[in-house]
């Protein structure tokens, strides 16, 4: 499988090079040139354990690595890191299946991919014969930053810098990042929202490429955001895991389509579902669930993407995003037209909006359903599911749960539904406590304890004693200062 820029057919790369670079040099994202011939013998994957599935799927999507090489990388990435060997277990909640993606080292679904990315990155560096140190730049709405630092912490040949919106993440997320240890990590908050941080990072990539700002410095940039294809590929695996579990438990027959409901921000997680479908898995509808920042709901309903709208801070902050980067990959894969994508993205940059051709809109309609849920609905869903089923959801999962119920009501012919659960409720304890009818109080750390006392659901180990850990990162900068901040830190290596 060859990769290319979503904006230029002539800009091609091997999968190893695409991982190493993070982003194509023209501002586009690396995407498989086509997924038409990607189908696997998907039925043969279902009896495998999760790591076995990962080996097959990842070596198909990232053919720079042989199956034997991938097997070693997968083992190194996941051994002993997750609560269960299954990595991503499923739980039955009422008539739905919840796919728990948060059983990793930082209690967010991003651990699945960010455990894998560092080993892929170092292997890609070797494959491409690169001796430069790799400086990972990451914008985070809260979860990516922590999971990425945990993954890259003390990985030789790499350094990582994380930018998060000042005041825009939960106190638990903030504490997780500010207390991060490791010799090669740096965390900085930016006075702006997630889009400002993400745009800032994209601009740094463009400026460094254009003006060769790091030439001869022994450092090169890469990304741990889902703009990196090495982030996306590992997420395809759990779609297969959930499907296999449904077959093995007898809830579906082999070949029955299953609908997946995905709480969506940057469109990476749900795009992995599209990849799973193209690899042959019987994926029915992909249901895109948004919070009050429902730009994707509007886009999938109307075909018009328009970011000229208010930005809301919600109780599901990891989805507070107005520019969903991975949508660009979907537009490219569906249209097979890099020129069209370049035009749309140019329009997005200049006017904040674009509109897709009718043929593309039709394709979107057949693949996706979209819905949104505000903070009130989110809390209502958490309270109801706890009362009815004794299952405790985090705020992002609750958005998906609510949209799943909307979807089932709107589409009576739906298949069995898998709801992707993307974070532990203990990452957002105040909102979850409130949803259970309790006063959340002022202190999120006390709220974590109270949530555990109230529900008896055990707090993940990595979130205990967060408050006692020493704060190691305190920098706050303006979005306009990001480039100079990075260049100073990069230069620091030479001193
Ligand atoms: C990142 C994140 C999401 C959104 O995932 P995307 O791949 O960006 O769409 C949803 N929920 C949680 C908890 C997250 O951390």
Q: What is the mean pLDDT of the segment spanning 316-321? A: 92
For the ranges 8-22, 197-211, 339-353, which has the lowest average pLDDT? 197-211
Residue 241: CB within 6 Å of ligand 1? no
Contact predicate 64/44, CB 8 Å: no
Angle in degrees, CA 420, 245, 46, rounded to 5:
110
In which region does residue 174 sit, left (phi positive, over 0), alpha (psi from -120 to 50) or beta (all else)? alpha
Q: How far is the CA of 13 from the centre of ligand 1 (A)?
A: 27
Exposure of 301 by Cβ count < 10 A (0-12 exposed, 13-18 middle, 19+ buried)? middle
Please give the share of the chain, as a percent, with pLDDT higher than 90.
Answer: 89
Specify which residues 262 forms β-bridges with: 288
Closest C-alpha to 142, from 113, 116, 109: 109
**Is 381 strand, coil or helix?**
helix
Residue nearest to atom 11 of ligand 1 (CA): 422
Distance CA 252, CA 298 (A): 32
- Copy the structure tokens of residue 47: 């009896």
Residue 378: CB atoms within 10 A of its CB come to 29
Q: Which helix (H) or strand (E) holds 239?
A: helix 237-248
- Copy the structure tokens of residue 310: 């208010």
What CATH number has the domain spanning 90-106+232-458? Answer: 3.40.50.1100
Residue nearest to atom 1 of ligand 1 (CA): 318
pLDDT for res 170: 84
Closest C-alpha to 280, from 48, 89, 41, 27: 41
The pairing of strands 258-263 and 283-290 is: parallel
- Strands in 118-243 per DSSP E: 133-139, 158-165, 185-190, 219-223
DSSP for 286-326 reads EEEEE-S--HHHHHHHHSEEE--S-----S-GGG--S--TT
Could you tell which of 197, 232, 264 is best to mutate to test the pocket of ligand 1, judged by most ligand atoms within 8 Å of the CB? 264
What is this structure's pTM?
0.95
The pairing of strands 133-139 and 368-372 is: unpaired
Closest C-alpha to 77, from 56, 57, 105, 108: 105
480-491: pLDDT as tens digits:
999 999 999 888
pLDDT band at 495 (very low <50, low <70, confident <90, very high): very low
Residue 55 pLDDT exceeds 80: yes
254-269: pLDDT as tens digits:
999 999 999 999 999 9
Residue 7 pLDDT exceeds 70: yes
**Is 182 strand, coil or helix?**
coil
Terminal Cα distance for the chain, rounded: 41
CA dihedral 169, 186, 147, 163 (to 10 degrees): 40
pLDDT for res 138: 94
pLDDT band at 85 (very low <50, low <70, confident <90, very high): very high
Going from N- to C-terminal start, the domains of the chain cover: 90-106+232-458
In which region does residue 267 sit, left (phi positive, over 0), alpha (psi from -120 to 50) or beta (all else)? left
Could you tell which of 263, 421, 463 is best to mutate to test the pocket of ligand 1, judged by most ligand atoms within 8 Å of the CB? 263
- Copy the structure tokens of residue 305: 């993407």
Q: Which residue has tokens 């999971």?
A: 147
Q: What is the mean pLDDT of the segment spanning 225-234? A: 94
Residue 423: CB within 6 Å of ligand 1? yes
pLDDT for res 465: 86
pLDDT band at 350 (very low <50, low <70, confident <90, very high): very high
List strands edge to edge, sheet with 30-32: 8-13, 3-5, 30-32
Q: What is the mean pLDDT of the segment spanning 111-136? A: 96
Task: Count how many residues are written for the chain.
Answer: 495
- Copy the structure tokens of residue 492: 């620091």
**Is 485 strand, coil or helix?**
helix
Specify which residues 31 forms β-bridges with: 4
Residue 339 pLDDT exceeds 90: yes
Q: How far is the CA of 381 from the centre of ligand 1 (A)?
A: 18
Q: How far is the CA of 493 from the centre of ligand 1 (A)?
A: 32
Backbone phi, then psi, for 348, in 5-degree steps? -60, -45
For the ranges 188-192, 199-203, 338-342, which has the lowest average pLDDT? 199-203
Distance CA 411, CA 211 (A): 52
Contact predicate 261/284, CB 8 Å: no
| Identified catalytic residue from 12, 43, 81, 110 | 110
The pairing of strands 353-355 and 258-263 is: unpaired
Distance CA 312, CA 259 (A): 28
Half-sphere exposure of 306 (CA within 13 A, CB side): 9
pLDDT band at 493 (very low <50, low <70, confident <90, very high): low
Residue 383: CB atoms within 10 A of its CB come to 17
Residue 110 known to be catalytic: yes
pLDDT band at 142 (very low <50, low <70, confident <90, very high): confident
CA-based radius of gyration for the chain: 21
Backbone phi, then psi, for 366, in 5-degree steps? -75, -20
Which is the closest atom of ligand 1 to the Cα of 267?
A: 9
Q: What is the mean pLDDT of the segment spanning 1-13? A: 97
- Copy the structure tokens of residue 169: 């993440």
For the ranges 231-240, 265-274, 384-393, 463-472, which has the lowest average pLDDT? 463-472
Specify which residues 133 forms β-bridges with: 219
Residue 209 pLDDT exceeds 90: no
Contact predicate 421/397, CB 8 Å: yes
- Share the mean pLDDT of the chain: 95
């Amino acid at each position: 499988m060859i990769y290319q820029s979503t904006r230029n057919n002539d800009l091609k790369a091997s999968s190893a090079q695409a991982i190493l670079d993070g982003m194509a040099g023209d501002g586009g994202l690396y995407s498989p040139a086509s997924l038409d011939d990607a189908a696997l013998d998907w039925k043969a994957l279902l009896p495998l354990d999760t790591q076995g599935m990962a080996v097959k799927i990842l070596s198909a999507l990232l053919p720079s690595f042989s199956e034997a090489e991938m097997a070693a990388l997968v083992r190194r990435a996941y051994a002993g890191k997750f609560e269960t060997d299954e990595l991503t277990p499923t739980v039955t909640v009422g008539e739905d299946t919840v796919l728990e993606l948060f059983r990793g080292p930082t209690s967010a679904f991003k651990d699945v991919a960010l455990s894998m990315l560092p080993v892929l990155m170092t292997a890609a560096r070797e494959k491409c014969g690169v001796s430069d140190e790799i400086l990972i730049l990451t914008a985070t709405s809260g979860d990516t930053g922590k999971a990425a630092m945990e993954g890259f912490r003390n990985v030789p040949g790499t350094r990582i810098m994380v930018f998060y919106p000042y005041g825009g993440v939960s106190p638990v997320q903030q504490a997780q990042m500010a207390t991060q240890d490791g010799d090669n990590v740096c965390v900085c908050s930016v006075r702006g929202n997630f889009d400002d941080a993400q745009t800032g990072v994209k601009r740094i990539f463009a400026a460094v490429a254009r003006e060769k700002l790091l030439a001869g410095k022994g450092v090169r940039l890469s990304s741990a955001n889902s703009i990196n294809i090495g982030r996306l590929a590992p997420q395809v695996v759990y779609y297969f895991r959930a499907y296999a579990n449904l077959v093995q438990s007898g809830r579906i027959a082999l070949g029955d389509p299953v609908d997946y409901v995905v709480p969506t921000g940057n469109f990476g997680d749900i795009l992995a579902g599209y990849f799973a479908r193209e690899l042959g898995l019987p994926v029915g509808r992909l249901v895109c669930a948004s919070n009050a920042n429902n730009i994707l709901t509007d886009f999938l309903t109307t075909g018009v993407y328009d970011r000229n709208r208010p930005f809301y801070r919600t109780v599901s902050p990891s989805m507070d995003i107005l520019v969903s980067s991975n949508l660009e990959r979907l537009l490219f894969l569906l249209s097979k037209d890099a020129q069209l994508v370049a035009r749309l993205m140019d329009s997005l940059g200049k006017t904040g909006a674009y509109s897709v051709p009718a043929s593309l809109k039709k394709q979107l309609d057949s693949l996706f359903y979209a819905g949104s849920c505000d903070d009130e609905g989110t809390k209502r869903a958490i309270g109801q599911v706890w009362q009815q089923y004794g299952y405790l959801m985090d705020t992002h999962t609750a958005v998906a749960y609510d949209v799943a119920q909307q979807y089932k009501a709107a589409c009576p012919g739906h298949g069995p539904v898998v709801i992707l659960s993307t974070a532990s409720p203990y990452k957002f304890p105040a909102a979850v406590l409130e949803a259970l009818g309790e006063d959340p109080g002022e202190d999120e750390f006390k709220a974590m304890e109270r949530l555990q006392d109230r529900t008896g659901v055990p707090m993940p180990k990595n979130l205990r004693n967060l408050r006692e850990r020493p704060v190691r990162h305190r920098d706050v900068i303006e979005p306009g200062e990001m480039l100079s901040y990075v260049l100073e830190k990069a230069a620091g290596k030479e001193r």
